[in-house]
Amino acid sequence: MKIKKGRVLVVDDDQGIRDQLMWALKDSYEVLLAEDGPSAMEIIREQKPQVIALDISLSPFAQNEEGFEVLRKIMELDPKSKVIMITGNETKHLALKAIKMGAYDYFTKPIDLQEIKVIINRAIYIGKLEQENELLLEKLQAERRFHDIIGSCPQMMKVFDIIGRVATTNATVLIYGQSGTGKELVAKAIHRQSLRKGKSFMPINCGAIPENLLESELFGYEKGAFTGAVGRRKGKFELANGGTIFLDEIAELSLALQVKILRFLQEREIERVGGREAIELDVRILAATNKDLQQAMEKGVFREDLFYRLSVVSIALPTLRERGDDITLLANSFLNQYNKEYGKNIKAFSAGALQELQTYEWPGNVRELENKVKRAVIMTRSNLVTPEDLDLQLSEKSGKLTLRQAKDRLEKKLIREALIKNRANISRSARELDVSRATLYDMLEKHQIGKEDFS
Ligand SMILES: Nc1ncnc2c1ncn2[C@@H]1O[C@H](COP(=O)(O)OP(=O)(O)OP(=O)(O)O)[C@@H](O)[C@H]1O
Ligand SMILES: [Mg+2]
């Protein structure tokens, strides 16, 4: 069996160096040659070499700028490229600058052929590892989502489980959750997982439309039903026929409309505003609210019979704060998404930023997290997201904490910091925090910190 050779591109304006490297490397690698920047870039785009050996002073007239310029372009194209700089003795001091710009390594002329082979082999090997790692990560992320809903904490697993079980039934589902927890996403997932997926999914926000308009929005109207009703119009229910209607902010429905929805749930038919005939429809209702319906019923503003009809199955979405490590999972996924959207290549969150993501209250839940990450991607100038980029108003929030909460939070923060710094080494972290190892283990348990997260 023929083993595929690694592909190496040599970029040097000196014919002597090109010949020498071709001769030395051709048995072990597939060697490509370029004598200037433009032809190098063309080869890189088309043939994607695993390693690029690049002369730092590509053009003798350009005073070293040309090599850096090509390096910059390569990193722009693919920041994971493995570029090894070729430097002369007089340009050795520039190697550090190149490495800061993302070059992988450098070697000095005159070329030691043994040495360069070792460097190239290692670069190929690391490139391969990175690629495998990326694939693995992608797979992992794919396993941690259900349709577009990302999550791996126990509460979200339970949500996925319920969705999976109710989706193919026609059961009405009531989705509870604070603002930004993903209620609409869950409703869509149920629809897309159901037998109705080919038909329409019709969301309507009951809180956003004035009551007198809402009725005709939902049920449609006949010509002459009211001033301005110049023709017959179908409502959302009819438009959703065969599919799903999603009644968002259901608690905002007036008692009169609640009766009409109830009637549909009992009879499976509606009447248009100003109409006399009953229209039979096949529509599944999903509803959502961030209000406490129990309380609304006690106050007499929400009908108990409708509540029971709606909540055949109910799904309670946890707040973002309750989702533990999902915060990091979501943040990374949004980072990826907005990197792509804005053509950026921000690699990760700094340790400090990750910590703030965990500490912050997230009153706006996932929607707020998404917005903060988006902002950070736009604002960040380096390839790491720092706490400043996230701009979370931590101090304002901590003013509302009790002393005990503040103490707990600080304790947790210090422990996480120590673990990160000491790469999860318990003895060293304990020594730094000036507690015994047993105490530290107790604290990890108390704060539900997994030490494996920091290794
Ligand atoms: N688990 C999740 N994974 C990925 N994205 C999510 C998740 N939860 C929410 N989002 C995103 O957060 C935003 C808010 O979600 P959604 O509109 O479903 O929330 P909501 O509960 O309906 O909010 P609101 O009460 O404000 O209407 C959307 O952009 C959605 O894509
Ligand atoms: Mg919503």
What CATH number does the domain containing 159 carry?
3.40.50.300
Are 342 and 303 within one domain? no
366: Cβ below 6 Å to ligand 1? Answer: yes
Q: Are residues 246 and 171 in the same domain?
A: yes
Sign of the four-CA dihedral 251, 256, 257, 259: positive
Statement to judge: residues 220 and 363 lie in one domain: no
Are residue 339 and residue 387 in the same domain, yes or no? yes
Nearest to residue 49, comparing CAs of 57, 58, 39, 59? 39
pLDDT at 445: 84
Q: State yes or no: pLDDT of 395 exceeds 60.
A: no
**Nearest ligand, CA of residue 181?**
1
**Is the CB–ligand 1 distance for residue 289 below 6 Å?**
no
Q: Which two tokens stand for residue 250?
A: 């259901």
The residue whose CA is least distant from atom 5 of ligand 1 is 149
Give the confidence band of 400 by pLDDT, cuts at 50, 70, 90: low
Task: Give the number of the atom of ligand 1 that is nearest the alpha carbon of residue 188.
Answer: 18
Domain edge (last residue) among 318, 335, 353: 318
Partners of residue 34 on adjacent β-strands: 11
The total number of structural domains that make up the chain: 3
**Backbone φ, ψ for residue 136 (5° rounding):** -60, -45
Tens digit of each residue's pLDDT (9 = 90 or more) over 140-185:
766 667 888 999 899 999 999 999 999 999 999 999 999 999 999 9
SS (H, E, C) the chain: CCCCCEEEEEECCCHHHHHHHHHHHCCCEEEEEECCHHHHHHHHHHHCCCEEEEECCCCCCCCCHHHHHHHHHHHHHCCCCEEEEEECHHHHHHHHHHHHCCCCEEEECCCCHHHHHHHHHHHHHHHHHHHHHHHHHHHHHHHCEECCEECCCHHHHHHHHHHHHHCCCCCCEEEECCCCCCHHHHHHHHHHHCCCCCCCEEEEECCCCCHHHHHHHHHCECCCCCCCCCCCECCHHHHCCCCEEEEECHHHCCHHHHHHHHHHHHHCEECCECCCCCEECCCEEEEEECCCHHHHHHCCCCCHHHHHHHCCEEEECCCHHHHCCHHHHHHHHHHHHHHHHCCCCCCEECHHHHHHHHHCCCCCHHHHHHHHHHHHHHHCCCCEECHHHHCCCHHHHHCCCCHHHHHHHHHHHHHHHHHHHCCCCHHHHHHHHCCCHHHHHHHHHHHCCCHHHHC
Residue 111 lies in a domain: yes
Neighbouring-strand partners of residue 233: 221
Query: How many angstroms is it from 369 CA to the middle of ligand 1?
Result: 10
For residue 398, the model assigns a pLDDT of 47
Question: Given the CA of residue 317, which atom of ligand 1 is nearest to it?
Answer: 21
User: Does 403 reside within a domain?
Assistant: yes
User: Which pLDDT tens digit goes with each residue over 2-23?
Assistant: 557 899 999 999 999 999 999 9
Sign of the CA dihedral with 179 first, then 184, 185, and 189 last = positive
Domain match, 286 and 349 both: no
Q: Is the CB of 149 under 6 A from ligand 1?
A: yes
Amino acid identity, position 321? R
For ligand 1, pick from 157, 160, 173, 181 the residue to mutate: most ligand atoms within 8 Å of CB.
Answer: 181
Q: Is residue 209 part of a domain?
A: yes
Whether 214 and 281 share a structural domain = yes
- Answer yes or no: is 287 within a domain: yes
1 domain-assigned: no
pLDDT band at 283 (very low <50, low <70, confident <90, very high): very high
Q: Considering the domain boundaries, does residue 134 fall inside one?
A: yes
Same domain (yes/no): 300, 174? yes
pLDDT for 61: 58
- Condensed to tens digits (0 to 9), the pLDDT of residues 32-61 reads 999 999 999 999 999 999 999 999 888 755
Whether 266 and 229 map to the same domain: the answer is yes
Checking if the pLDDT of 397 tops 50, the result is no
What is the token pair recorded at 423?
A: 């790469």
User: Dihedral, CA atoms, 407, 152, 139, 146, nearest 10 degrees?
Assistant: -140
Same domain, 303 and 428: no
Residue 282 lies in a domain: yes
Question: What was the pLDDT predicted at 407?
Answer: 80
Q: Is 318's C-beta closer than 6 angstroms to any atom of ligand 1? A: no
Question: Does residue 390 form part of some domain?
Answer: yes
pLDDT of residue 3: 59
Cβ pair 29, 116 in contact under 8 A: no
Q: What is the pLDDT of residue 45?
A: 93
Mean pLDDT, to the nearest integer, of 108-114?
A: 87
C-alpha 315 to ligand 2 mean position (Å): 14
Residues 258 and 387 in one domain: no
pLDDT above 70: residue 452: no
- Say yes or no: 173 and 268 in one domain: yes
We report the CATH number of the domain holding residue 32 as: 3.40.50.2300
Domain of residue 46 covers 6-140
Are 336 and 281 part of one and the same domain? Answer: no
Residue 295 CA, chain-centre distance (Å), reads 35
Angle subtended at Cα 26 by Cα 108 and Cα 86, rounded to the nearest 5 degrees: 15
User: At which of 287, 318, 349 does a domain end?
Assistant: 318
Residue 333 vs residues 111, 160, 382: alpha-carbon distances, Å: 44, 18, 19
For residue 10, the cross-strand partners are: 33, 53
- Mark which of 278, 295, 318 sits at the end of a domain: 318
Is residue 196 within 8 Å of 244, Cβ to Cβ?
Answer: yes
Q: In which residue are the tokens 């996403």 written? A: 185
- The CATH number given to whatever domain includes residue 392 is 1.10.8.60
C-alpha–C-alpha distance, residues 245 and 270, integer Å: 14
Distance of alpha carbon 434 from alpha carbon 454, whole angstroms: 19
